[in-house]
Amino acid sequence: MIGLHFFGKNQITDITSLLGEGGSKKKMFIIGLIVGGVSILLLVLVFSLWRCRWKKSHRGGKDIGVVYYNYRHLKMATNNFGEENMIGKGGFGEVFKAILDDNKVVAVKKLKVEYEGAKVGFENEILLISQIRHRNLLSLLGWSSEGSDLLLVLEYIQNGSLDKFLWGEKRGDLDWKTRYDIILGIARGIAHLHKEFHVKIIHRDIKSSNILLDNNFQPKIADFGLARLQPDDQSHITTMFAGTLGYTAPEYVLYGRLSDKVDTFSFGIVMLEIVSGRKCTYRNFDASSADGLLEYAWKLYETKNLLKLVDETMDVNHYKEEHVVNIIEIALLCTQSPASKRPTMSEVILMLPNNSSLVERQLTKPNCIDHDWRIQLECS
């Protein structure tokens, strides 16, 4: 770039001689103009900085790089958050279908503010999801807030959540190939959170109702409100339990010991649900006992009768039986205790397509949590 240099470096010039008669008054006038001009420039700069900070604080205080939606427009697009537009409901909020002005269909998640951590969860979800792009992770499109109302704008997934296809109104629609593809897709999404992103993210709430299925039945992991970061130099962090009983690892429920292996445990439970078509808390597998899904699967493993776990609505022919058994064994491996016995999600991805049995890993009885949160060292 070409510059114009009127004076040499550090050169001082006396301009008194240039002012002529009445030089002192003119000198004071010019100095006043210069000082005034500089003051105005400083005021403009300070105002600009203040305005920028005000905008950030007004929009949640985060520079997140996603679209800020007008709250009133989202309210209209969901018909005032009408029940007829509701497509999901959970412990932390409700999800509504919305059609925007450009006819784009989105999902609007309205967080409940009654519970203490609502705003923390809101900020977590914005900061984490806005930076994540993976085919098996639900994309955040934007956000909005007004007073205590907190809204997330997410991509709309037409088929809804996985649980509806396993034990809900759409039960029986999934064949084995589709279920296996769902399992593999979930594994890839979790592995991306743990290893392929620039920080390790622990989801903390992997469960079938948080897995959405697109038009091609590809899974997308949703709901990052409980997600936490795990430093690379720490094997775990200690924190208060938050999640869903039945899906959560014993060491986290009882001792608050959180690591990426907690997600591995939850994934193992979801695998068992996908194979069996039953929720993890279901207890009517066998009239002679009241075992939950994990306990029941382990007993079938001991008696070498794992195919009895398979969803009765799914036809598994002889050529696929070995693969199904292998998947159940991997699920049991993911639920081992202590956590060090569980594979990483990257290892799980390598195991899933392999039809051979788990020769190198010795399965042991998983630990189970009873209704009083007491640990049973062996599933009885």
Positive or negative CA dihedral for 112, 116, 119, 121?
Answer: negative
Lookup: tokens for 217: 């039945």
Q: Is 110 annotated as a binding residue?
A: yes
Buried b (16+ CB within 10 A) or exposed e, 238-252: eeeebbbebbbbbbb
User: Cα–Cα distances in Å, from 307 out to 223, 250, 297, 316?
Assistant: 32, 26, 10, 9
68: β partners? 143
Distance, in Å, from the CA atom of 105 to the CA atom of 67, rounded to the nearest integer, reads 15
Lookup: tokens for 120: 């923390």
Q: Among all residues, which ones are annotated catalytic?
A: 205
* DSSP structural state of residue 137: B
Distance, in Å, from the CA atom of 231 to the CA atom of 259, rounded to the nearest integer, reads 10
Token pair 């899904």 is at which residue? 293
Token pair 């001991």 is at which residue? 302
Residues with Cβ within 8 Å of residue 111, at least 6 apart in sequence? 92, 93, 118, 121, 122, 150, 151, 152, 225
Omega cis (within 30) before 250: no
Known binding-site residues for ATP equal 110
